[in-house]
Amino acid sequence: RVSDADERFDAELVRVDRDGDEITAVIRVRVSPDARGLVYGRVVVHGQDPRNSQFVPVVLQAFDPAAAGG
């Protein structure tokens, strides 16, 4: 599972693929409609053992729809 503690975006674990010892996680991050400019934050990827949780940095560009003409 994944979690975030930032109201400017939401993170969702889409799927986990395993190939031998290699694990690939697909995480969807959605920017809040209220966010503007660069959004820096982090997502926590939780392992089966809580001691194996990892922080993943997130950098997003949030555009102002009014400034973009739509």
Q: Determine how many CB atoms are found less than 10 A away from the CB of residue 43.
A: 21
Answer yes or no: are the C-beta atoms of 21 and 62 closer than 8 Å: no
What are the tens digits of pLDDT across the range 9-31? 999 999 999 999 998 999 999 99
- Residue 38: pLDDT band by 50, 70, 90 thresholds? very high
- Residue 68: pLDDT band by 50, 70, 90 thresholds? low
User: Quick check: 45 pLDDT over 80?
Assistant: yes
Residue with tokens 């966010």: 35
